[in-house]
Amino acid sequence: MGTVLLGLNIVNAPLIITLSVISIGLVVFLLVRAPTTRWVLTASLGAVGGALAGTVTILVAVNLLDLFGTRLSPIVEIWIVLTFTAVALAIVNLWRSRWRRKVVALVAVLVFVLTGTLGVNAAFGLNKTVAAFLGVTNEKPLDLGGRTATPTPQPDDGTPLYTRWSPPAGMPQTGTLGTIDLPNAASGFVARTGLAYVPPAGLVADPPVLPVIIQLNGQPGSPGLDDPKVILDALAAKHNGLGPIVVNPDQLGDDSKDPLCLDTSMGNVETYIMKDVVPWVKAHFAVSADPKDWTILGFSNGGMCASYFGAKYPNVFGNFVDLSGDEHQGVDDRSTLSRVFGGDQQAYEAVWPTTIMAESTYPDSVGVFTVGETDGEAQPGVKKNYDAAVAAGIHASYTEIAGGGHDNTALDGGLSKAYDTLFPRWGLSAPAP
């Protein structure tokens, strides 16, 4: 029962529609009373007061505290204002009413808050299940289809894989997704459970050598590969089961913290990725050692991390994908300079992706930069990193995702752009005409 609940979709119908209908019914019930002047005035003042409280909350959360790291879309703002308005209406029903109405009003408050919370989450679209919303995983340990963890890969003669790969009989139709036990012996970093996706071609007894994506999530956020799996399964169906191995470690450790993808007092995240995660992937999958087949990718906070690792370690990651990423570490936290770098501005700027790219050379690196077309907060930073990549000689592209904000639309659109760019480079598909 718990597994079913954790796996419940909280973005698509029918849950959101059902709760919305119930909420509308409760609002109607709470409004219908004897139409006295006192009640009309009380209800009106309550609704207006609630709407104002919602508006003030948005202004404080976005403009003063920057809790979301971006401007909110109109849909999100409407959800918040309507929720505050409905809750205020329920509260004014607690006075001068019978006990039955009081009980309904109290229940309504819970329903309104739940509906509003899920509505805001659905507007962002990043947490699709109860498990994702709570920051836990509902996946089972990775099932490799009965093959050993260290298979014997097929020989690589240097030609594009798509020209010499024929899927064997019995190859699964879709890839598999599951939890993995990533070590932290080198870093000591305490991370949440990681995930991995293996495409159909990686599930056969003697798989081909495949490319790798290390994917990092945003903050707040936790490892989750539901969207990549859907898109990559569709691509695998078009390309004889081929696709990348995707490993999703946790670079945060805790939703409330941002260790900056560096080695700091908040945790040795850089060592975790480079000396724990990367070697583990090489030891457990039939993957290429060529940097052009290794990609680091992330969204929001993870996008900044991807630009950092891609800029600093081109000998490991020949490709990096910045999806709506922050410009640099701690860009939205003014205390980062003093708290992490002891006030040393030069040391702080030394870890910015733009600085690293300006001081390095890239004989064969690809950078993919995407951002939602309405994400005015993230666009300047993404553009700066893109410009720095071009100036450094990196083969880079910049794309604004139509209809996207700092949300699931921007994530899915960015993933699709990245895969379209990288599949031919990896030899998984023919070059675009």
Q: What is the pLDDT of residue 144?
A: 67
What is the residue whose two structure tokens read 């290390």? 214
Of 63-67, 137-141, 286-290, the one with minimum mean pLDDT is 63-67
Helices 379-391 and 301-312 cross at an angle (nearest 10°) of 10
At 167, give phi and psi (nearest 5°): -65, 135
Mean pLDDT of 129-143: 70
Residues 358/345, Cβ–Cβ less than 8 Å: no
Return d(Cα 431, Cα 433) in angstroms, integer. Answer: 6
Q: What is the pLDDT of residues 8-48, one digit of tens each?
A: 666 666 888 899 999 999 999 999 988 888 889 999 999 99
Residues 196/377, Cβ–Cβ less than 8 Å: no
Give DSSP secondary structure letters for 255-312: TT---TTSEETTEEHHHIIIIIIHHHHHHHS-B--SGGGEEEEEETHHHHHHHHHHHH
Three-class SS state of 374: coil
Q: What one-letter code names the amino acid at 33? A: R
Q: Is the pLDDT of residue 364 over 90?
A: yes
- CA 287 to chain centroid, in Å, comes to 24
User: What are the residues whose beta carbons fall under 8 Å from the beta carbon of 384, sequence distance 6 or more?
Assistant: 327, 354
Of 249-258, 282-291, 294-303, 368-377, the one with minimum mean pLDDT is 249-258
Spelled out in words, what is the top-level CATH class assigned to the domain 137-426?
alpha beta
Q: How confident is the model at residue 121 (pLDDT cuts 50, 70, 90)?
A: confident
Mean pLDDT of 378-382: 94
Nearest to 177 by CA among 132, 133, 220, 209: 132
Nearest to 367 by CA among 389, 392, 338: 389
Of 136-145, 148-157, 180-189, 386-395, the one with minimum mean pLDDT is 148-157
Of 55-64, 176-185, 348-357, the one with minimum mean pLDDT is 55-64
Residues 50/84, Cβ–Cβ less than 8 Å: yes
3-state helix, strand, coil in the chain (%, to 5): 45, 10, 40
Q: Is the pLDDT of residue 149 over 60?
A: no
Q: How confident is the model at residue 1 (pLDDT cuts 50, 70, 90)?
A: very low
Residues 277/214, Cβ–Cβ less than 8 Å: yes
Residues 235/145, Cβ–Cβ less than 8 Å: no
Mean pLDDT of 187-212: 93
Retrieve residue 324's tokens: 């709506």
Residues 184/191, Cβ–Cβ less than 8 Å: yes
What are the distances in angstroms from CA 71 to CA 23, 31, 372, 376, 379? 27, 33, 12, 7, 12
Retrieve residue 168's tokens: 């064997």
Of 95-99, 196-200, 371-375, 381-385, the one with minimum mean pLDDT is 95-99
Give DSSP secondary structure letters for 317-337: -SEEEEES--SSTTTT-TTHH
Q: What is the pLDDT of residue 12?
A: 66
Q: What is the pLDDT of residues 396-412, one digit of tens each?
A: 999 999 998 888 889 99
> What's the chain's average pLDDT?
88
Q: What is the pLDDT of residues 234-250, one digit of tens each?
A: 999 999 999 999 999 99
Tell me 351's DSSP state.
T
Domain positions in the chain: 2-124, 137-426
Retrieve residue 205's tokens: 């007894």
Nearest to 91 by CA among 35, 27, 34: 27
Q: What is the pLDDT of residue 146?
A: 54
Return d(Cα 380, Cα 70) in angstroms, integer. Answer: 12
Q: How confident is the model at residue 159 (pLDDT cuts 50, 70, 90)?
A: confident
